[in-house]
Amino acid sequence: MKKLTYCFNKILFFVLTFLFAFLHADFLFAQEEYNGSVSWYGPGFHARTTANGEAYDMYMLTAAHREWKFGTLVEVYNKKNKRKCIIRVNDRGPVSKSFLMDLSYGAAMAISSAEAGTANVRLTVVGNESGVYDKEKLFFLYLDDKIILPQNADVENFTEDFADNEAYFKNIAGGIEIFQRINKHIKRLYQAHIENAPSLLVSIDKRICLGPYQTFKDAQADYHKIATLYPHAALWLEKANKAIPLAVE
């Protein structure tokens, strides 16, 4: 009888442990939105070891959180200016209970909160480093530059050789300015060693972006290359069909 009771308790323990783990993981995504204030940390911690063993890079899109697993991806939305950015949790903090999270300097720049020091935000857990909770979305690097394009149907008339597109842009109102701006971005991105820049340049909601990237890791690799060239660069999650190609190699 004692042996049967022991086995039953053992099975019950494993079942309850599994349920707790499952429900806890579900809770992380079920309670998607968290509202409050965030701060940021930078120069004094640059190159120091973070809680997950990485060297802290103040220019990368990371953050410190007290509990969320390392690798958790979070969308940070600045309620004041409506800027947003996807960050990855790689450290523990903040010390002050007044803040939900400590952003890296790069993330604070992305949502334009570095100068203010703090920001009133909405945090949304979107996934982990290998994927996102909304499988319909992909990663795009936002370069903080507006661009007004002609109708989508007209954009499809671009030639396969970007250099030949200049003739097309000359035939639309103000089009040559668009061409020159895109060309300027391509030159800067080439300098940052993003060799496939023309095929990555897209427009989303009248903003110039790079993408799509399948994973946060891939997007972060290119972000690292452009962080100093585009100090307000951010990482977005968007549906691929919202992206309008700007050039083709």
pLDDT band (50, 70, 90) for residue 83: very high
β-pair type (137-146, 131-132): unpaired
pLDDT band (50, 70, 90) for residue 158: low
Average pLDDT over residues 13-27: 45
- Share of residues in the chain with pLDDT > 90 (%): 58
Helix intervals (H) in the chain: 2-30, 105-110, 152-155, 165-170, 175-191, 197-200, 216-226
**pLDDT above 80 (res 168):** no
Average pLDDT over residues 131-157: 79
pLDDT band (50, 70, 90) for residue 226: very high
pLDDT value of residue 33: 85
Structure tokens at 229: 């060239």
pLDDT band (50, 70, 90) for residue 26: very low
Which residues, including other chains, have CB under 8 Å from residue 40's CB and lie 6 or more apart?
102, 103, 104, 105, 107, 108, 113, 114, 117
**pLDDT above 80 (res 32):** no
**Phi, psi for 53 (deg, rounded to 5):** 95, -5
Structure tokens at 35: 């509202």
Give the per-residue SS3 of 13-75: HHHHHHHHHHHHHHHHHHCCEEEEEEEEECHHHCCCECCCCCECCCCCCEEECCCCCCCCEEE
Q: Strand, helix or coil at 135? A: coil
**pLDDT above 80 (res 205):** yes
Of 14-23, 33-42, 143-152, 219-228, the poorest mean pLDDT is in 14-23
pLDDT band (50, 70, 90) for residue 3: low
Distance CA(233)–CA(166), nearest Å, equals: 27
The closest alpha carbon to 125, from 29, 217, 22, belongs to 29
**pLDDT above 90 (res 152):** no
pLDDT value of residue 18: 44
pLDDT digits (tens, 9 = 90+) for 177-199: 777 888 899 999 999 999 999 99
- Share of residues in the chain with pLDDT > 70 (%): 76
pLDDT value of residue 131: 86
How does the average pLDDT of the chain come out, rounded?
A: 83
Distance CA(188)–CA(13), nearest Å, equals: 58
**pLDDT above 60 (res 80):** yes
Average pLDDT over residues 9-29: 47
Distance CA(236)–CA(130), nearest Å, equals: 15
